[in-house]
Amino acid sequence: MSTTVANQKASAGKVAAQEVLGLTGNEAAAEALKQVNPDVAAVFPITPQTELMHKFAEYVANGAVDTELINVESEHSAMSATVGASAAGARAVTATSANGLALMWEIVAIASSLRLPIVMPVVNRAISGPLNIHCDHSDTMGCRDLGWIQLYSEDSQEAYDNMIQAFRIAENKSVMLPVMVTFDGFIISHTMERVEIISDDKIVRNFVGEYQPENYLLNAQHPVTYGPLDLPDWLFEHKRQEIQGFLNAPEVIKQVGREYGEISGRSYDLLEKYRMDDAEVAVVALGSTAGTAKAAVEELRAEGVKAGLVKIRCFRPFPGKEICAALAKCKAVSVMDRCISFGLEGGPVFNEIRGAAYGAGLKVPMVSHIYGIGGRDINVTQIRGVFEELKKLASGGKIEAVESYVGLRE
């Protein structure tokens, strides 16, 4: 096969025994949390994240973990307590979706500015309103500039794998940034899939390692002040340090992805190039839609169309150069956004890629397809329709509309 698939099996000799289970995305993420056994988890229920924390609360009740579980009274307090715990020197987690993320917004930004390596699964759901509990990416895309690393998952397997890697990435001394692991609400969170988990918890714990905080509130010898007033004479410098964490992160994410491959047989990169070596028409997607797009690509390939997919796993830091390199030989590209950027032509991922393309000198015709808002289904036929448009552009067709919608009644 000429395609480059990131999830290649590593050399069989080193790979730890895997157990094959049928798990939903929520269960898979909870399983990862169980194996890591964090110090503190502060949680508040919100659909579709609830099942994740039900499962974890069950682990707490049964003694499978000895994590201190704080059942807070809101997501705002969930993130606040997680910040307090992390600053105190604990490995701390929380989990949320959509409006919960919106409610904790203020503290989401504070967590990253205090350089606290918190890990938070976010089960993607449309931000209200009106109320909708189903998947789109308006929640995590909306906080893309709040200083968190964002890893998107294609399926339950990746939700599990990303969760484990997230701790290593966040806690790396050259990074020290919180990490969001996202997976699509219901589509992944509530769908049972085949998931391989590392059988031995110890191997996971060994991989993640002991958390060794440097400056923390519970250090009796060296008390610290967290979150001082930071005025115009210093805030910029502190933000520059945060930028450095993001500049250092890609190598760390890749390294952790390789090392994870050694114990699991599933290695990870910033993005996955699927059938891209000779692709003439390509879509860029993230989350579960990447899986649907792969099916479309396979069908088209069978028909002789040189179709490919770039799946973004790591959206923050944004791998613009890598994406543009992957798209360099294409004749037409669609970036598929499960999110609207109101008042801007094209979705957020599209605009970031188009921006990166300018810097990379990539002049491929590029369009934005908005789809899947509020949990609207996206299927193989629809993605094939996107490729049909790309084929026209690739053979000299004009871009009629930069932004268009898939699966919308107009």
Partner 1 sequence: MALNLKKLSHKPEMLAPGHRACSGCTAPFLIRLALKMVDDDEKLVTSIATGCMEVVTTIYPFSAWRCSNIHSAFENSAATCSGAEAAYRVLSKRGKVKEKFKFLAMGGDGGTYDIGFQSLSGAMERGHEMLYICYDNEGYMNTGIQRSSATPKGAETNTSFAGSAKPGKEQHRKDLTACLVAHDIPYVAQASVHNIRDLGDKIYKGLHCGGPAFLNVLAPCHRGWRIGVDQGVEYARLAVETNFWPLFEVEKGAYKINYKPKTQLPITDWIKGQGRFKHLFNDKNKHIVDELQAETDRKWKSLLRREAEALEDAKAAAPASA
The interface mask with partner 1, positions 237-276, x = CB under 8 A, is: -x--------------------------------------
**DSSP 8-class letter at 129:** S
Write down the least CB distance from residue 91 to partner 1, Å: 9
Nearer to partner 1, 106 or 278 (CB): 106
Residue with tokens 């001394």: 173
Q: Does 174 bind partner 1 (CB under 8 A)?
A: no
Q: Which stretch binds partner 1 (CB under 8 A): 51-59, 73-81, 290-298, 345-353?
A: 73-81
Write down the least CB distance from residue 138 to partner 1, Å: 24
Q: Tell me the sheet residues that pair with 368.
A: 335, 403
Q: Which stretch binds partner 1 (CB under 8 A): 37-45, 139-147, 302-310, 384-392?
A: 37-45
Write down the least CB distance from residue 69 to partner 1, Å: 8
Q: Closest Cα partner for 147 from 103, 182, 117?
A: 117
Write down the least CB distance from residue 44 to partner 1, Å: 10
Per rule CB under 8 A, count of chain residues that contact partner 1? 44
Phi-psi label, residue 146: left if phi above 0, alpha if psi -120 to 50, beta otherwise: alpha
**DSSP 8-class letter at 378:** -
Write down the least CB distance from residue 12 to partner 1, Å: 35
Q: Encoding tokens for residue 65?
A: 């973990």
Nearer to partner 1, 87 or 312 (CB): 87
Task: For residues 283 and 391, give the distance between their C-alpha atoms in angstroms, rounded to a whole number.
Answer: 12
Write down the least CB distance from residue 111 to partner 1, Å: 9
Write down the least CB distance from residue 140 to partner 1, Å: 21
Q: Does 62 bind partner 1 (CB under 8 A)?
A: no
Nearer to partner 1, 223 or 355 (CB): 223
Nearer to partner 1, 110 or 187 (CB): 110
Q: Tell me the sheet residues that pair with 197.
A: 19
Write down the least CB distance from residue 53 to partner 1, Å: 16
CB-CB contact of 31 with 192 (8 Å): no
Chain residues 198-237 in contact with partner 1, contact rule CB under 8 A: 217-220, 223-231, 234
CB-CB contact of 356 with 320 (8 Å): yes
Task: For residues 316 and 318, give the distance between their C-alpha atoms in angstroms, rounded to a whole number.
Answer: 5
Q: Does 61 bind partner 1 (CB under 8 A)?
A: no
The interface mask with partner 1, positions 86-125, x = CB under 8 A, is: xxxxx-x-------------xx--x---x-----------
Q: What is the largest CA-CA distance in the chain?
A: 69
User: Site for partner 1 (CB under 8 A): which residue of 28, 52, 85, 286?
Assistant: 85
Q: What are phi and psi of 16, to 5 degrees?
A: -75, 160
CB-CB contact of 31 with 197 (8 Å): yes
Q: Encoding tokens for residue 98?
A: 């959509």
Q: Closest Cα partner for 347 from 404, 278, 297?
A: 404
Pairing of strands 179-184, 149-152: parallel
CB-CB contact of 122 with 106 (8 Å): no
**DSSP 8-class letter at 298:** H
Q: Which stretch binds partner 1 (CB under 8 A): 38-46, 122-130, 298-306, 400-408?
A: 38-46
- In the complex, the residues that contact partner 1 under the rule CB under 8 A are 39-40, 42, 66-68, 70-74, 76-77, 80-90, 92, 106-107, 110, 114, 217-220, 223-231, 234, 238
